[in-house]
Structure formats: structure tokens, C-alpha cells
Amino acid sequence: MITLSDIEKVYQTKTIETVALQRVNLAVPKGEFVSIMGPSGCGKSTLLNIMGLLDVPTSGVVTIDGQPIKSYKDKELAHIRNEKIGFVFQSYHLVNDLSVLDNVELPLLYRSGVSGSERTKLAKDALEKVGLSARTKHFPNQLSGGQRQRVAIARALIGNPAIILADEPTGNLDSVMGEEVMNILLDLNRNDGTTIVMVTHDENMAHKTERLVRFFDGQQVSDSKVFDLQTV
Amino acid sequence: MIKHLFKLVWNRRRANFLMIMAIFFSFLVLFGTISVLVNSWQNYKKPLGFEPERIWYVNIQHYQTPKDEVRVISEQLVRKLQTLPEIEHVALASGNAAYSGWSNMMGLTRGNLQRGINNVTIQGGDFKSTMDLNVVEGRWFQDGDEFSNQNPMVITQDIKQFFFGNESAAGKKLKSGDKEFTVIGVIEAYRTNGELNSDAGTFMRVSSLADTSRWVENTLYLRMKPGVTSGIEEKLLKEAGSVATGWKLDVKYMDQMRASYMKENLTPLLIFAIICAFLILNVALGIFGVLWYNINKRYSEIGLRRALGATANQIYKQFLGEILVLATLGLVLGSFFAIQFVLLDVMGMQPEVYYYALGISIVMIYLLVIVCAFQPSRQAAAIHPALALHEE
Amino acid sequence: MLKNYFKIAWKVLLRRKFFTFISLFGISVTLMVLMVITAMLNQVFGTHTPEKKMDRMLFVTWLHMTGDGTEMNSGPSYSFLNRFVRPLNTPELITIYSSNFTTFNFTQGSKLNMQTRYTDSNFWRVMDFEFIDGGGFGDAAVETAQKVAVINEATSIKNFGTVDAVGKTLTLDDSNYRVVGVVKNVAATRTESYSEVWVPYTTTKADLNDPHYGGNFRAVLLAKDKAAIDDVKKEFYGAMAKVPMMPGEDFTVLKVFADTNTEGFAREISRSVDNEVNTALLYGVVIGGMFFFMLIPTLNLVNINISRIMERASEIGVRKAFGASSNTLVLQFLFENIFLTIIGGTIGILLAVGALHLINNSGFIPYAQLGLNVPVLLFSLLICLFFGILSGVYPAYKMSKLHPASVLKGGSK
């Protein structure tokens, strides 16, 4: 579903050159739920940004849904992000001035040929999936953290993306809410076959996924099926 | 997308309220100022009807000369002046000329139609040639008209339109009280309030100096030959003094009168425009500052939208769109009040002036907000999504 | 403490230079315009030379007659004022004088126009001109129609090249007058005293005995004190009600008015023919106009201030979290805002001085001497404070409502 081949990312300032990613090769097949772990500054956020086409690699090729990304023109990237990728962030990034329903509708706003009524219907469906159909008229600041993250997941789902990229989705939540959000993601993966890549700090959460990739200093240090690890 | 913009603006209504008010008040100020400017401009475009260059406007004081003598001497004075080589034409008439500050209104009626009209009485000389009037219908006065019991009159085009529409006016009657006048001709215009002001129209009639029932007009209009300078004024006064001993002739040059009239009338317009421009500039800077700040505050929202598939261009359009929606709300409110002003006719101008002013003000406000929003919106569009979404 | 306030305020203003610039621009130009307007109003309506006794003066300048569909508006004639106004008892003094006429001479080889008034001797008692040289003409000079003249500084210089003109001969319309006094220039906006030459009314060639009511003269009634104004008015209107109509004319109604300076101005605008003219409306329009003019910059300032505060939301949150009370913060902010307004005000005063200088030198108002005096400055200071507080209060209120926890969490509402 998503393949990174020989990805390198180097940040250059006037005085120093920082290597964020070094020859990363990673393939995530369709329907897989992958966790990425590593200490702060290991480059996992950069990796997620490159996978999500929010950042441009210094070298290497990203292939999404069988299509290698050749051109990094703003318009084309925006189009691919909109069609193929859903994002979930640690701090939710909901637009405070929009209602829950409007927040969920956002991705469809940037897709041509979706009518207003269709948008509303899809948004309601997505909210139902995350168990928030009663909260469509609320505003984000009227919701708890867990609810907010569920809204964010609904937003990631609505465009029916090939892959969901989640950046520490439970990082701001207490364990109960974290569990709730994690279960939604697991359900999506199991029931709908959604491909998910999740960056996390939480070993417990990571162990619930099928596969765990560890990063250190911009390099992939291990890649294992979770049950293997558990058996070791 | 437009619905989305309205939602955003509406949901942020409390934060946006002050900005809408600023736009609303600037619109009202702009509308008022532009109405005045458009009104003046429209007046200015209309024909003046006479040529003020080289006209000397001479006010006569007869002091204690007996009335009978005044009549005789006035007649001699006009004839004397006609013989002077520097003078092209001379006329003796009432003093209510443009830029003089005098007016002399008289009510005229025809059936139900009624209107107060400026009235000029000509008592000697050739007023038409002196003032360079343009007869568009019928004829100008001729000898004998001053004694005619038909009371012949010449009216300006706007008066003709008012009373007779597109029909021909020559030969038709107009009444003032019990007195009946006969229209013999129509002149293009004779605007006694000057080119920047509107005018009620003018009619002219002739009377004879010998007619003792009428008082003696005390203003001479002299059309000087080209190249004659004010230097000959002293000589001219001496020549006049040889006929009209002891009288005072107060000479004013109509082009100078016109210049000071323009100065007096344009200065308030200029002050209005400057104050208006300052207020608008003030608001523009404010809008710019607030937008700039807002965009910094909405940094992560911008990143998010980019992540969800918005192109840089769409972000740019969104921010421009939001301010246009804001401006529209301010303008709707403003237009509502502006239209009340128009309906109540607070400023007493032609309705079309208001429509022009409304249109121009709306366009200007939109241009203003677009200019103000241009840079901040570009800045918003240039925000890098990965950085904007970066978790602390 | 105060020093600390200043230091913080100064730093805050420097931090956001663009916002500071916008605020200062708005405040200073607004104040400049208001100060110029105030200076002009003061020049037109203020109590100063020559009308030092303005609060005791009633002006009779307008005669209004109607009848049979016709209407006549003019000044009163000399004979009218002499017959019906001069005999009034309550005023301490009455002066009758003409409106301005243009006189000229050709003595310098070119034409020299001069504004000239014909006055009585009381004129010099009612008005307080500043004489540079000599003095006004007295009763004897007026009674015997002596050709004497008081001229202003500018006319003196134009004719004689010096202000030392007493005793010199001035030609007005071919008549020779002896200069007896030179006064400082009076601005043309003082419509009742301004002129360039003043001569005894008895020297006019016009017929003073012409019995028509309309003419070119006016009168000032000087009440004994401010309180006596109403008595003078009462006697005046009582006497005017008894004035017979001029025989041989069609008029049936005659109205003459005795107004204070501001009432006269209000009447000129409203063309009211009631004995008492409504000045409240005039004040309302002036104050309303100024308020409206200030409204936009104030709104703008409030807008900017809110942005300025919200930008500092996290700082405010930290301060609150560390125990600063809302009051301290609000006080600090208001101080900052008034500080800003006062800087703006100072710039505004400098701009106003420049603008007034420009207007005075443009010659647009002859002999204008617009300046900033104590009342104008006090008024500006008042506007400054008003501005500072008004534009600071709402943002300060919003600031006090900021909740430290939500601010620190980064919520934007």
C-alpha cells in the first residue's frame, strides 16, 4: 500500500547539516496496522510527514497505492493527500470555529464533485462509526479529549483513504480514553481493512498492533511481527 | 465553499464583530464623501451656459443721485462704454450672476407645475453677446420687447424641460402671481450658482430704463477684448466718471471671482476627502494588522487544511474569501443605512448620485479589503504544513 | 513601581512595532484633526480680541420680511437701527456699523482693494481692538463727519510700508482720510469685527436717511453683564413687535433678531425665524460629528488592542498562574494604553502645530491666526485620555476574563 525506498532526509541550515532519516526502506502492505516507536528526535515524525507527503525527502522514492511519487508539485500532492491519506494527530487539530459535523466534512470540501448533502451524509456515517452521532452540532471545546480524537478519526475516515497516518493518537489522553481511541483504530483495521501507520510512545498500544518498527537516530533498527516479539 | 466561509465567519462572529463595525462605519463615511464628490462632479460636467473669461462684473453705487437722473445717466454710461476700444460688449442687468453670491428667486407656475426660479432682468446693452449665451430654441430679445405687453421671457433648458417636457416652448405662457409671461426662446443654461452647485434654473426678461415702475439695475457686465489687462481699469473708471460723476464703480474680474468661488467650494471637498482618506487608511491598517495576527493564530488550522488536501491556492482563496464575506456583511449593514439616507433624502441630491456613490463605495471597500488581505493571505498560503502541524 | 510600569510599557510597544505604528498613526492624526477643528471653532466663536466681551454681546444682523408670497432677507438699514434699536434702554452700549464694503485706491500705480466698515464711535467701546498705534475715533469725529480712519496692520504696511501710520493720508475711493489708529490684524472669520479699514459712518456717500428697512448695517447690543442678556432680548423683541410696516410695501411680517454669537451661527444654518433659536442642535451636530469622527479610529484601536492582548495570552496566563491578579494586569494594560495614547497625542500636537501654521500661511482665511492655546490643549488632553481609556477598557475586560489554564493549554477561545 505504501512503500518507502532508500529514503533520506537531511535538514540543512547555514552552519550544520542534520540527518533526520538515513536510507529508510519500509513497505506497508494493504490492511496492515504498523506501529513505529523510538525516542524523541529519532526521526519518526519526519518519517510520518514524508509518508503523508507533507514533507519532501532529500532522496528516495515514496510509492502510494502502487503509484510512485515523481513530482512534488503542491497541487498534485494536495490531491493525493486528499484522496489517499487520512491524518490523526496527537493534539487533534480540530478547527475550533467549526462544529463537529463541519470538522468531519473538511476533507470532502477539498474534493471536487461531492455535493453538500452527500458530505453531510458521509460525515454522519463516519461519526456513527466512532460513536459520536449524538454530538454533530457540538463544538470541539465542548468535548472531552477522547471525544475530540474520535472526531479527528471520523475526519480521517470520511474520504475513504487508502491509509491512515496517526501521530501519537493517544499521547494526550488518559489510559481509559486512550484505550477507547485505540479500540476504534483496531476495529477499523480489522473490520474495514484500513491500513494504519501509527507513531507512538506507548509500548502497550504498540503491542496491540500487528507489526512494530523501531527507529533510532534516523535509522530503522528493528522490524518485527508483534507476536514474534511477544514470544521472544 | 462559500457556505463554509459564511460558517467560519458566523461562528467567529464575536471576534469578527469589531472588524465588521469598522468596515460598516468606513463604508458610511466613504458613501457620504463620495456622494458629495459625485454630486459636485455631475454639476461640474453640466454646461455653465456662459463664458466667464474676460468678463468684468461692475457694481454701481449711485449714492444720492435722484432716481430720474440715475435712469438717464445709466443709459449714457452704457453708450459711453460701448464706444471704448477695449470693450467688446456691454450690458446693464441685475447683479445675480454666478459667483456673485446674489440670488433673486421668483415663483413661476403653469397649471399645477410650480417652481422657484432665478430671475435676471436686462435693462440695457447686449446681454446675450456679453455673456456668450447659446440660444437653442426660439429667439433672443429684440428691440421693442421691453415695451411688449406680452411680457416676453427667455428660459433655460432645464426650466423648459420642467414645464414643457419635450414640446416646444416658444409662444407658451408662464405665470407669476397675476402676471403672465410669454416664452420667446430657450437658452442652453445660465447657472448662477456656479459650476459646482446645483441650480434652480433661470429666466430672463427685459425692461426699459425709461419705465419708472421698475427700479434701476446696478450691475454692468463688460466683455473685454482679448489681451486687455486690469491695467486699464483706472482709465476706464475715468471715462465712466466723465458721464457718471460721483458714482462708484466697483470692478471685479469674473475669472477671479470664479477662482475664489472654486477655492471656497473645493476646499471643503478636499478636506472631506482627506479626512475620509485618513479614516479609511486607518481602518485599512487595522484590518491588515488584525488579519496578520489572525493568520498567526490560525497557523495550525492552516497546516491541518493543507494536510487534508487543500492546495496553497485554496488556502489563499479561503483567507481572501473570509475577509470578503466579512466585508459583505459590513456592506449589507452599511447599504441598509445608506439607503435609508437616500430614502429620507438627507443630503438633497439627485437619486442617481446616490446610486453611483453606493456602487463606487462598495467597489472601493472590496478593493480595500482585498489589498489589505493580499499579503496576509499569501503568507498563510506559504505556511509549510509539516511545520504548522509540528507537535510541541 | 511607576518606573517599572513605564519600562514594561515601552518594551511592549517596541515588541510589536507594526501594531504600535498603526495605533500611533490613528491616534495622532485623529487628534491633529480634532485640534485643528477646535482651534478653528475657538477662532470663530471664542472670546478674545476684538470681542472680549462676547458673553455680553447680542448681534442684530438679519432682517426678514414676508408678505404676499414674497420674502426679503437682508441686513437692517442704518435708519431702521437708528429709529428702532438705538432707543433701547437695557443695553449698556449699542453700536451701529456697516457690513464690509470694498474700497480701493490706485495710489501705488496698481489697484489696492480694502475691506472697509462704516462705524460709530461706540464701536471702539464695545469691541476691544488691540491698537499698535493711535486709537479709535470719538463722538466728535463721527458727529462732524471727519475723514479719519483706523486701519489694520496689513493695510498700513501695504499703503505706507510701515505700521507707524498715524497722521498719514489714506485714499479710499478718491477721498482722503487721515489715519488715527493702527490695529492688529483681525481674522476674517470674526465676521462682526473683521475689516481692514474702519471709518466714521457719517462719511459715507450713501443716503443714511433712506427710510427702507433693508440695508447694509448691523448692531451689537452690549448687556451690562451676562445675566442681563435675557432682559436685553426681552426689551428688544418687545420693541420689534411694535415696529410699523414700511408704508408702500407689501410686507406684512417683519422679523429682526438679537442673537449671541453661537445663536447667530445656528440661525444662519437653520434659517430659523423664531425669536429663540435652538443652539442645542448645533452643539449636538458638532459633538456628534466629532464623536463619529473618533469612532472609527477608536474601533480600530480596540481591534488592534485585542489582537495585541490575545497575542500575549500565554504570557498573561503565565503571569496569572504565578499569582498576578487580574487587576494588576488590567491596570498594567490600561497604563500601557494611556502611555501609547499620550505619545500619540504628543505627535498629534506637533502635527497640529504644523497644520495650523500651514493654514495660517496659506492665506485661505485672511489674517487667520489659528493657534493652540490653553483651552485647545486642555481639550486635546481630555480627548487623549478619553481615547486611551475607551479603547483600553473592552480589551482589558477581555483580558481579565482570560482563564490561565485554558490559555496555557493553548486553546484559542
Closest partner CB to A82 (pick from B300, B304, B309): B309
Low pLDDT (below 70) residues in chain C: 1, 68-69, 107-109, 404-413
DSSP state of B92: E
- Domain final residue pick, B184, B214, B246: B246
Q: Do C300 and B282 touch (CB under 8 A)?
A: yes
One domain for residues C215 and C359 = no
Q: Do B292 and C26 touch (CB under 8 A)?
A: no
One domain for residues B374 and B287 = yes
- Domain final residue pick, B246, B272, B300: B246
Q: Give the residue from A72, A80, A89 with the most B CB atoms within 10 Å of its CB, the best one to mutate.
A: A89
| Cβ–Cβ contact B314 with A under 8 A | yes
Residue pair C392/C338 in contact (Cβ under 8 Å)? The answer is yes
One domain for residues B6 and B74 = no
* Chain C: touching chains (3 or more CB pairs < 8 Å): A, B
Q: CB atoms < 10 A from the CB of C245, how many?
A: 14
| Cβ–Cβ contact C411 with A under 8 A | yes
Closest CA to A82 of A115, A119, A52: A52
* Chain A: touching chains (3 or more CB pairs < 8 Å): B, C
Q: Do B63 and C173 touch (CB under 8 A)?
A: no
Q: How far is the C-alpha of B358 from the C-alpha of A150, rounded, in Å?
A: 49
One domain for residues B231 and B379 = no
In a domain, B175, yes or no: yes
Closest partner CB to A110 (pick from B11, B12, B309): B309
One domain for residues B241 and B324 = no
One domain for residues B70 and B171 = yes
* pLDDT for residue A226 is more than 70: no
In a domain, B295, yes or no: yes
| Cβ–Cβ contact B297 with C under 8 A | yes
Residue numbers in C near B26 (CB within 8 A):
296
Per-residue CA distances from B9 to A98, B17, B239, B325, B368 (Å): 10, 10, 79, 7, 19
pTM: 0.83
Q: Do B63 and C111 touch (CB under 8 A)?
A: no
| Cβ–Cβ contact B13 with A under 8 A | no
One domain for residues C83 and C140 = yes
In a domain, B57, yes or no: no
Chain B from 67 to 126: CB within 8 A of any C CB: 107
Backbone angles phi, psi at B93, to 5 degrees: -155, 180
- Domain of residue B202, residue span: 63-246
In a domain, B224, yes or no: yes
In a domain, C267, yes or no: no
Task: Determine the pLDDT at residue A230.
Answer: 43
Q: Do B313 and A90 touch (CB under 8 A)?
A: no
Q: Do B18 and C297 touch (CB under 8 A)?
A: no
The Cα of C413 is separated from the nearest Cα of chain A by a number of Å equal to 8
Task: Determine the pLDDT at residue C413.
Answer: 36
H-helix or E-strand spanning residue B191: none
Q: Do C300 and B248 touch (CB under 8 A)?
A: no
One domain for residues B235 and B274 = no
In a domain, C28, yes or no: yes
Q: Do A49 and B386 touch (CB under 8 A)?
A: yes
Closest partner CB to B289 (pick from C19, C33, C207): C19
One domain for residues C240 and C330 = no
Closest partner CB to B22 (pick from C25, C207, C296): C296
- Residue A227's pLDDT band (cuts 50, 70, 90): low
- Domain final residue pick, C210, C225, C258: C258
Per-residue CA distances from B195 to B54, B240, C296 (Å): 17, 32, 33
Pairing verdict, β B179-187 and B152-156: parallel
One domain for residues B372 and B346 = yes
In a domain, C175, yes or no: yes
DSSP-assigned beta bridge partners for residue B58: B220, B251
One domain for residues C215 and C339 = no
Q: Do B309 and A83 touch (CB under 8 A)?
A: yes
In a domain, C269, yes or no: no
Q: How far is the C-alpha of A86 from the C-alpha of B308, rounded, in Å?
A: 7
Residue numbers in C near A172 (CB within 8 A):
none
- Domain of residue C291, residue span: 2-47+281-409
Number of structural domains found in chain B: 2
One domain for residues C100 and C160 = yes
| Cβ–Cβ contact C409 with A under 8 A | no
In a domain, B52, yes or no: no
One domain for residues C286 and C223 = no
Residues in CB range of B146: below 8 A, 6 or more apart: B206, B207, B208, B211
Residue pair B309/A88 in contact (Cβ under 8 Å)? The answer is no
pLDDT digits (tens, 9 = 90+) for C228-258: 999 999 999 999 999 999 887 778 899 999 9
One domain for residues B84 and B137 = yes
In a domain, C185, yes or no: yes
ipTM (interface predicted TM)? 0.89
Closest CA to A168 of A92, A55, A82: A92
Closest CA to B204 of B257, B111, B131: B131
**Residue C76: cis peptide before it, omega within 30 degrees of 0:** no
Q: Do C302 and B18 touch (CB under 8 A)?
A: yes
Residue pair C132/C160 in contact (Cβ under 8 Å)? The answer is no
Residue pair C218/C61 in contact (Cβ under 8 Å)? The answer is yes
Task: Determine the pLDDT at residue B212.
Answer: 86
One domain for residues B142 and B266 = no
pLDDT digits (tens, 9 = 90+) for B46-70: 999 999 999 999 999 888 888 889 9
In a domain, B56, yes or no: no
Q: Going from the N-terminus, what domains does chain A have, and what CATH number goes with each?
A: 2-231 (3.40.50.300)
The Cα of B7 is separated from the nearest Cα of chain A by a number of Å equal to 7
pLDDT digits (tens, 9 = 90+) for B200-234: 899 999 999 988 888 899 999 999 999 888 888 88
Number of structural domains found in chain C: 2
Low pLDDT (below 70) residues in chain B: 391-392
One domain for residues B145 and B70 = yes
CB pairs under 8 A between B and C: 83
Q: Do A82 and B308 touch (CB under 8 A)?
A: yes
One domain for residues C182 and C85 = yes
- Domain final residue pick, C258, C293, C318: C258
Q: Do B309 and A107 touch (CB under 8 A)?
A: yes
Q: Give the residue from C403, C408, C413 with the most A CB atoms within 10 Å of its CB, the best one to mutate.
A: C413
User: Chain C: residue nearest A172 by CA?
Assistant: C409
Residues on A contacting C at a C-beta cutoff of 8 Å: 91, 96, 141
Closest partner CB to A78 (pick from B300, B311, B386): B311
* pLDDT for residue A225 is more than 60: yes
One domain for residues C32 and C67 = no
Residues in CB range of C379: below 8 A, 6 or more apart: C35, C38
- Domain final residue pick, B218, B246, B274: B246
Residue numbers in A near B300 (CB within 8 A):
93
Q: Do A52 and B390 touch (CB under 8 A)?
A: no
Residue pair B296/C312 in contact (Cβ under 8 Å)? The answer is no
| Cβ–Cβ contact B321 with A under 8 A | no
In a domain, B255, yes or no: no
One domain for residues C103 and C194 = yes
One domain for residues C300 and C244 = no
In a domain, B256, yes or no: no
One domain for residues B29 and B148 = no
One domain for residues C151 and C243 = yes
In a domain, C207, yes or no: yes
One domain for residues C327 and C386 = yes
Instruction: Please list the alpha-helical segments (H only) found in C161-254.
Output: 229-241
Residue numbers in C near B107 (CB within 8 A):
69
Per-residue CA distances from B261 to A23, B99, B197, B267, C23 (Å): 83, 6, 11, 10, 38
Q: Do A54 and B3 touch (CB under 8 A)?
A: no
* Chain B: touching chains (3 or more CB pairs < 8 Å): A, C
Residue pair A163/A29 in contact (Cβ under 8 Å)? The answer is no
Closest partner CB to A97 (pick from B11, B308, B311): B11
User: With 0-12 CB in 10 A as exposed, 13-18 as middle and 19+ as buried, what is C63?
Assistant: buried
The Cα of A108 is separated from the nearest Cα of chain C by a number of Å equal to 25
All three cell numbers of A72, joined, read: 512534488
Task: Determine the pLDDT at residue C412.
Answer: 40
pLDDT digits (tens, 9 = 90+) for B145-192: 999 999 999 999 999 999 999 999 999 999 988 889 999 999 999 999
Residue numbers in C near B21 (CB within 8 A):
299
